[in-house]
Chain A
């Protein structure tokens, strides 16, 4: 187990390194180095920037050094918690982060929890009552969940709430709580707002999870061990919950690996449409204005998030599945 953990950690570090390279390449992609383009844009709009600031920046990021050492300088900064400087917002990236990271994580985690809480019972129901009315209903809803893009769902929800109920569902807080300190009242206000983005983000993922669970469970329901358990004299309902469902949950746990990237992607779009105070609108702005340091740090952060998620899912899987825990290869 320790060996397994160690190996997974090493793999994760390597993957992170690979990701950082990708992100760095992306940062470098826009033509010219970003400080020159930044200055060009500023002077275009009539602003000026202190030459001293420019010089410190050039030195900090070793703009004139070869790419490899630029990368190294950037990476070293990251490791020290210096994520760079947002030219657009004129703030260190870390400051922008600390403001919004909590809300971002809260919304995404909530979406993941909702996704699972909804998908598991529906998936079990659909598989056990295959071809029932409820199963068809779940399948149809599932198909729409997959076919309606997040932003469109958000737009439609927004429209319906506005036109039918006269409610605007943008943002996560009422104006009076926007900049207030956390309190019970603010929390309740948050709870009143958060359902819409969570609903939008969770829908597509839920549909996919239901499909996966339903397919897995249908496979497992026909396995001989189900018959064995029934031949023991166990109630059918208990048989299903104790055996096939238990086995079918394993691949579901391993889906965290792709559920998280999906959640992050969809929360990104949703946050922009619903104007949430999360990291996503910042990333969009950073990208549109080619504020690449901020963008790079954000993408790296999102990547780290998914990797931690994948690690957790792998460990969880090893914990619940003895075949993996005891080092038998090729369970699944």
Chain B
């Protein structure tokens, strides 16, 4: 950040954007003012709906169907110091189009849908170059290849003629960045560019953006909701809440001396996970509750019409062995495609492994093999092993009232009826922190966190011994997530549950779990105590994984080239 100067490249003053509405207007952002400086990264944080993305679009003056109601966005030429006000320009005028892509470039959250599916990467980059640079097609192609090389895409000469769907997620985001920097803009706006990516890929993209920024002295406006990412890359931070900037300052001040209560809440939510202490392990009896033994699972493979061999079988799990001990919370972490969700489904009897077995010792001390379909026909197993789902929206039947949803397992298993059933549901609702008076409502009246509580109430209704939670907090915003985690901890202590917690978020696992198993490409690469694995990993993949997790503290920046 040595190129930073005190002259801003972009000045935003008193900017407001409204979404016109049948009755009145929704104020997406209200009188925002901030500056962006060359060579500096300004992070915009806030939970979904706080107006971060709208701000980015307002700078580009592409907000339709919304309208910019007041304020100014002024871009200042770094050499001539000539200012140009953007909001007063027509949204499709030549003057503003000369700025877009050339002086302000933008990258987005979902690289797949942000690139046209029917044009090659090359066509899309070349278009941007031809728009702003006075070169012929061949030269533009050459520059596109250079841009791809600059973002470290292998054999860019060939990659340039590929379609987005032939790229991996991380590659696509690199291609987006290549397109954005092809015309060497002064300002790069990155709207949650790593949210859809795995943590190791995220680290690579963050490093790439930083590298390019240093090389070209760009100003970066980085929008994210992840405090870890903020701590890792920001120079300045603007905290947004309900369309307003509630706090704006240097990164160290934001993290270590926040003034606004909302900022403090955000910092606490992420730092709290980080700073939790190890809990004492529950006492371990002789036999584990669930013993997973050398599981192998494979998918698919359709026989083709012409030959008998099985094509394209994907091995999802390979020699996986694990045990779950009574009373413990076992975390299973891994990136997408690591096999963690498949493992959960094997435990629920939804997938049948090719070999290996899963021995569950039930309440009566009988051993049941969970890979056998017969075990799941027996209601006892259903009652003792319960599941909490990832998506709080699709896991509750929208056509049933909360009462019906929670009563369903009780009714099916003939455990209660009539007045008693109602009482039980009321108790369960209160147990998960909801009011019993909410019973007659339908799920659509509840927020994500409340729905997840309802899902938990349904899970504990049958007084289970084991709960399998598959990414159960990943759809929730920071502070709500923390509440659900605490609820799970309380329930574990109170009901003597054992929990298998499947997650991709190291911070969550570190906070919640006693032990952790790290999965990579269908195998368990490391198991150990949660704090041990998270703080001093042994396996090389785990080390990479942990190193890639951004620390929510700007004083502990650790992102290095891997």
A→B interface (CB under 8 Å): 223-225, 227-237, 243, 246-247, 250, 320-323, 326, 328, 331
**Residue contact B118 to A233, C-beta cutoff 8 Å:** no
Given contacts A224-B109, A228-B176, 20 further A-B contacts (CB under 8 A): A224-B114, A227-B62, A228-B108, A228-B179, A230-B60, A230-B100, A231-B62, A231-B100, A232-B127, A232-B128, A233-B97, A234-B101, A234-B131, A236-B91, A236-B92, A237-B92, A246-B119, A322-B117, A323-B117, A323-B165
A247 to chain B, nearest CB (A): 6
**Residue contact A231 to B105, C-beta cutoff 8 Å:** yes
Interface of A is mostly: helix
21 contacts between A and B (CB under 8 A): A223-B113, A224-B114, A227-B106, A227-B108, A228-B114, A229-B116, A229-B127, A232-B179, A233-B99, A234-B97, A234-B127, A234-B131, A236-B92, A237-B92, A243-B119, A322-B117, A322-B118, A322-B120, A322-B163, A322-B165, A326-B163
**Which 7 pairs of residues, A with B, have the shortest CB-CB distance?**
A233-B101, A233-B100, A232-B101, A224-B114, A233-B97, A231-B106, A232-B128
CB neighbours of B440 from chain A (8 A): none
**Residue contact B106 to A247, C-beta cutoff 8 Å:** no
- How far does the alpha carbon of A246 sit from the alpha carbon of B117 in the complex, in Å? 10
B→A interface (CB under 8 Å): 57, 60, 62, 91-92, 97-102, 105-106, 108-110, 113-120, 124, 127-128, 131-132, 163, 165-166, 176, 179
CB neighbours of B57 from chain A (8 A): 227
**Residue contact B114 to A230, C-beta cutoff 8 Å:** no
CB neighbours of A231 from chain B (8 A): 60, 62, 100-101, 105-106
| A321 CB contact (under 8 Å) in B60, B101, B118 | B118
B80 to chain A, nearest CB (A): 20
**Residue contact B98 to A247, C-beta cutoff 8 Å:** no
CB neighbours of A236 from chain B (8 A): 91-92
CB neighbours of B108 from chain A (8 A): 224, 227-228
CB neighbours of A326 from chain B (8 A): 163, 165-166
**Residue contact A228 to B92, C-beta cutoff 8 Å:** no
Nearest CB in chain B to that of A328: its residue: B165
CB neighbours of A322 from chain B (8 A): 117-118, 120, 163, 165
CB neighbours of A321 from chain B (8 A): 118
CB neighbours of A237 from chain B (8 A): 92
- How far does the alpha carbon of A198 sit from the alpha carbon of B432 in the complex, in Å? 68
- How far does the alpha carbon of A326 sit from the alpha carbon of B118 in the complex, in Å? 11
- How far does the alpha carbon of A244 sit from the alpha carbon of B113 in the complex, in Å? 12
**Residue contact B114 to A227, C-beta cutoff 8 Å:** yes
CB neighbours of B179 from chain A (8 A): 228, 232
CB neighbours of B62 from chain A (8 A): 227, 230-231
**Residue contact A224 to B110, C-beta cutoff 8 Å:** yes
B468 to chain A, nearest CB (A): 30
- Known contacts being A231-B101, A323-B165, is A225 close to B132, with CB within 8 Å? no
**Residue contact A247 to B116, C-beta cutoff 8 Å:** yes
Nearest CB in chain B to that of A224: its residue: B114
- How far does the alpha carbon of A233 sit from the alpha carbon of B57 in the complex, in Å? 13
**Residue contact A232 to B114, C-beta cutoff 8 Å:** no
A40 to chain B, nearest CB (A): 49
- How far does the alpha carbon of A320 sit from the alpha carbon of B101 in the complex, in Å? 28
CB neighbours of B163 from chain A (8 A): 322-323, 326
- Known contacts being A224-B108, A231-B60, is A250 close to B118, with CB within 8 Å? yes
| A233 CB contact (under 8 Å) in B110, B117, B128 | B128
B481 to chain A, nearest CB (A): 26
- How far does the alpha carbon of A237 sit from the alpha carbon of B128 in the complex, in Å? 16
CB neighbours of A227 from chain B (8 A): 57, 62, 106, 108, 114
A252 to chain B, nearest CB (A): 13
A281 to chain B, nearest CB (A): 43
- How far does the alpha carbon of A234 sit from the alpha carbon of B132 in the complex, in Å? 10
**Residue contact A323 to B118, C-beta cutoff 8 Å:** yes
**Residue contact B92 to A232, C-beta cutoff 8 Å:** no
Among B102, B106, B132, chain A packs the most CB atoms within 10 A around the CB of B106
CB neighbours of A246 from chain B (8 A): 116, 118-119
Among B98, B116, B165, chain A packs the most CB atoms within 10 A around the CB of B116
Nearest CB in chain A to that of B100: its residue: A233
CB neighbours of B92 from chain A (8 A): 235-237
CB neighbours of A230 from chain B (8 A): 60, 62, 100
- How far does the alpha carbon of A331 sit from the alpha carbon of B102 in the complex, in Å? 33
Nearest CB in chain A to that of B56: its residue: A231
- How far does the alpha carbon of A247 sit from the alpha carbon of B117 in the complex, in Å? 8
CB neighbours of A224 from chain B (8 A): 108-110, 113-114
Nearest CB in chain A to that of B61: its residue: A230
Nearest CB in chain B to that of A244: its residue: B116
**Residue contact A232 to B113, C-beta cutoff 8 Å:** no
**Residue contact B115 to A232, C-beta cutoff 8 Å:** no
**Residue contact A233 to B116, C-beta cutoff 8 Å:** no
CB neighbours of A232 from chain B (8 A): 100-101, 127-128, 131, 179
| A225 CB contact (under 8 Å) in B101, B114, B165 | B114
CB neighbours of B119 from chain A (8 A): 243, 246
